Structure 1
Amino acid sequence: MSEQKKDVIDLVEVFKLLKTKKKVFFIVLPIVFVLSCLYIFPQPRYYRCSVTLAPEATGENVAGGLSSLASQFGVNLGGASQDAIYPLLYPELVESNEFVIDLLGIKVTKLDKSLSTDYYTYMRKHQEKNPITAPFKYVMRKVTSCFKKNENTKGLRTGAQMDPFRMSERDSKLLDEIKSNISCDVDKKTEVITIKVEDQDPLICATMADSVRVHLQDFITRYRTNKARIDVEHYEKLAVKSKKEYEYCAQIYSAYCDANQDVTLQSFLSKRDELENEMQLKFNTYSAMRTQLEAMRAKLQEKTPAFTTLQCATVPVKPAGPKRIIFILGMCFLATFITALWLARKQLFTKA
């Protein structure tokens, strides 16, 4: 029984000990409070903008109905859509290097009109940094660079024309930073797409959120209509070719008829009928190509997806972070807990 009592931590004794050591808290907490303020207040504010859109349903017939019913229970059958890139893969698409590189050439302007440039230059040279931590990061970069080999960037394209297949380490880190600022979430039940963008400037934040929406819609449209567009271009070439052939045959037939108006010999009449038949065949081919072309254009229009924007991009009024008061209170609470744990370590960890 006495051994069990020894294993029990006496909280009253712990509190009495902490009360006698309250001077330590009066020293630690002000220091933590000041350091937290020095770190968090110079930290640049960032804003967040959200865009919500709903794509048209891609389910067909019974499979589409079953998929829609299963989605109500959070189950994705995956067999209703004929697309290789279905909505649940859109977040992976937005995080791809090719997609992010397409955003680098977008023209952006700060809310106070003090800067107007492309997104690559803005992210590379015009990002605000914490003046307290910036010197330490600079020193760390210099120290780590001493142990790295010099990177050969000769021949590498940069900016909006950078090659996603081969890029410099600096550009790769920039793309990772942009990816961390852009997120795309898809609701598994409704397939509603939510795009969120964070940035230090509210106007640029809204501009990029809308640009990501437009680029995503354009990519999906190009992907779904690629085969139909190829068919349209193919039948346009055939229609142009068949029209030229028909016009050429009509020209020969007209010239022959004009030159032999008063001729009644059977050989001339047979030649005229032969030219007329050939002209009619070319016309029928041209008519068939025009009909097929219009059908392919209608199919292209049918394949073009429609998107409904449920929430458009809006310039945010209030910053989304950092939460300065919450950060300071959290650091003070953490310092209090660690200090108390340290002062009462003998009572907490040395019980026999």
Structure 2
Amino acid sequence: MNKTLKKQEEDLHEPPVSDINKESADTKENLDNEKSDKTIANNKFYKIAFDVYAYIQILIKKKWWILSIALTFGLFGVLCSFQIPKIYTSALSLAPESSKNGLSSNISSLASMVGMDMKFGNNDDAIYPEIYPDVVKSNKFIVSLFDIKVTTKDQTLTTTYYNYLDKYQKSAFWNKWIDAISKKIKKSDSISEKNNNINKVDTFQLTKKETDIANNISNSIKCSVDKKTSIITIQVTAQDPLIAATMADSVKVRLQDFIKEYRTQKARDNVAYIRHLYKEAKDRYDKARKEYAEYADAHQETVLQEYQSKQEDLENEMQLQYNIYTQCVQQLQLSLAKLQEQTPVFTEITQAAVPIKHSNTPKIVIVIVFIFVATIGSLLYFTIANRKKIFRIVEITK
């Protein structure tokens, strides 16, 4: 009886099963809501905003600094523009003779009109217009310009092109400072001064000084070829207008000589060989004629058959040598004609002339560039210095 009452009392204090399940579900939902709130809080989005108003205020505040820096750089640009030596450029253009003919020439001409380069037939010429600029830049060609005599426009100086570039070049003050510092840092190389005579320049092993001057000449010469028309344009820059024109004409002549020498090398060798054969044939003919004449004069009244036979042999030998001699003469004339035919011809479209105006960059352009660089640099400096005021991190709300 007592056990029964105790069990009923425990059943009265124990909550029902449905209430326990409901409470468990509520607790789980609250935990999920808290977790969701934390996830949303952790997944915030931000962006960097540029405060235009603050940036303008900073620029207005620093405007006198910006103007003063730009003005200072502008004055420095004016100084630099007057320190840069004047240079003059002389130009000319050539049209080389085309070695193409026939149908292939017509097709190539049509192809060149649309910018195509089509070569037909057997063309074993390794020096074609497209590589003329490389020929002009070669050491052998550049060194050949060292001994050219040049004269300044005011007629106060006449020397070689090598000495002109070595001793009579003007330079800006910063270049003089750089040269002075480099001479103090680097000791003079004894090998660089071994050749004082420019006529003994070794193109295979140039000295330091010769290399510098050769690079200076190479940078002052510009050779270009139009792929459509094959017109060669040569430009030479120098600090004296007369020297610029003189060197432009000299480069043209040296380039023509180089191309002629290359293209006619085989024909000239052929002419030299046939001329050698011609001289030998002439000597043999003269010798045979002399022997025949002497023998005939000595035996004019001889009627013996033995003497007559020998005279006929000498006459035949003379006639044979004469035939060989005439053939050599013909071959020599043909080889000379072929040499003339293979010699290229250049039509000078525009001649080199002494320039009147210099080809430097205008001074106003140099000053504007200095002011522009100073202004941009100032703006970048003040932007970086005040980046915390100009750039702000803003939260993106959804």
TM-score, normalised with respect to structure 2: 0.82
> Structure 1: 5+ residue runs without aligned partners?
none
Q: After superposition, where does 1:88-237 map in structure 2 within 5 Å? A: 88-143=130-185, 145=186, 150-153=189-192, 156=195, 158-237=197-276
> Deviation at 1:340?
1.2
User: Could you report, residue by residue, the CA deviation over 1:26-51 in whole angstroms, capped at 9, with x for unpaired residues?
Assistant: 22022112222222212110001111
- The corresponding residue for 1:76 is 117
Q: CA, structure 1 residues 79+94, in 2 after alignment: closer, same or farther (shift >3 Å)?
A: farther
Which among 94, 98, 109 is matched to residue 53 of structure 1? 94
- The corresponding residue for 1:43 is 84
User: Could you report, residue by residue, the CA deviation over 1:78-126 in whole angstroms, capped at 9, with x for unpaired residues?
Assistant: 4564310110000000000100111111100000111000101101101
- The corresponding residue for 2:367 is 328
Provide the secondary structure at the position in 1 that maps to 2:348: strand
Tell me the distance in 1 between the aligned counterparts of 2:364 and 2:226: 32
Tell me the distance in 2 between the aligned counterparts of 1:171 and 1:86: 29
The residue identity in structure 2 corresponding to 1:36 is G
Which among 43, 50, 63 is matched to residue 22 of structure 1? 63
Provide the secondary structure at the position in 2 that maps to 1:152: helix
Tell me the distance in 1 between the aligned counterparts of 2:89 and 2:390: 46
Tell me the distance in 2 between the aligned counterparts of 1:8 and 1:191: 58
The residue identity in structure 2 corresponding to 1:86 is Y
User: Could you report, residue by residue, the CA deviation over 1:43-94 in whole angstroms, capped at 9, with x for unpaired residues?
Assistant: 1100011110010112244433333332222222345643101100000000
Q: CA, structure 1 residues 349+118, in 2 after alignment: closer, same or farther (shift >3 Å)?
A: farther
Tell me the distance in 2 between the aligned counterparts of 1:348 and 1:220: 69
Q: CA, structure 1 residues 200+212, in 2 after alignment: closer, same or farther (shift >3 Å)?
A: same
Tell me the distance in 2 between the aligned counterparts of 1:340 and 1:83: 59
RMSD: 2.1
Identity of aligned residues (%): 36
Provide the secondary structure at the position in 2 that maps to 1:207: helix
The residue identity in structure 1 corresponding to 2:134 is E
User: Could you report, residue by residue, the CA deviation over 1:226-276 in whole angstroms, capped at 9, with x for unpaired residues?
Assistant: 111111111111111111110110010011111111111111111111100
The yes-or-no answer on 1:244 pairing with 2:283 is: yes
Tell me the distance in 2 between the aligned counterparts of 1:314 and 1:83: 32
> Deviation at 1:16?
3.4
> Deviation at 1:7?
3.4
Q: CA, structure 1 residues 55+174, in 2 after alignment: closer, same or farther (shift >3 Å)?
A: same
- The corresponding residue for 1:283 is 322
Tell me the distance in 1 between the aligned counterparts of 2:136 and 2:49: 55
Tell me the distance in 1 between the aligned counterparts of 2:196 and 2:120: 41
Q: CA, structure 1 residues 285+351, in 2 after alignment: closer, same or farther (shift >3 Å)?
A: farther
Tell me the distance in 2 between the aligned counterparts of 1:312 and 1:179: 21
Tell me the distance in 1 between the aligned counterparts of 2:52 and 2:132: 53
> Structure 2: 5+ residue runs without aligned partners?
1-43, 394-398
Q: CA, structure 1 residues 176+158, in 2 after alignment: closer, same or farther (shift >3 Å)?
A: farther
Tell me the distance in 2 between the aligned counterparts of 1:295 and 1:55: 24
Provide the secondary structure at the position in 1 that maps to 2:94: strand
Contact kept in structure 1, 2:192 and 2:208, CA below 8 Å: no
Which among 98, 106, 124 is matched to residue 65 of structure 1? 106
- The corresponding residue for 2:293 is 254
TM-score, normalised with respect to structure 1: 0.92
22-31 or 100-109, which deviates more: 22-31
Q: CA, structure 1 residues 301+349, in 2 after alignment: closer, same or farther (shift >3 Å)?
A: farther
**What is the total number of aligned residue pairs between the two structures?**
347
Tell me the distance in 1 between the aligned counterparts of 2:390 and 2:114: 49
Contact kept in structure 2, 1:108 and 1:207, CA below 8 Å: yes
Tell me the distance in 1 between the aligned counterparts of 2:196 and 2:155: 29
Q: CA, structure 1 residues 182+343, in 2 after alignment: closer, same or farther (shift >3 Å)?
A: same
- The corresponding residue for 1:337 is 376
- The corresponding residue for 1:85 is 127
Q: CA, structure 1 residues 347+140, in 2 after alignment: closer, same or farther (shift >3 Å)?
A: farther
Larger Rg: 2
Tell me the distance in 2 between the aligned counterparts of 1:9 and 1:300: 78
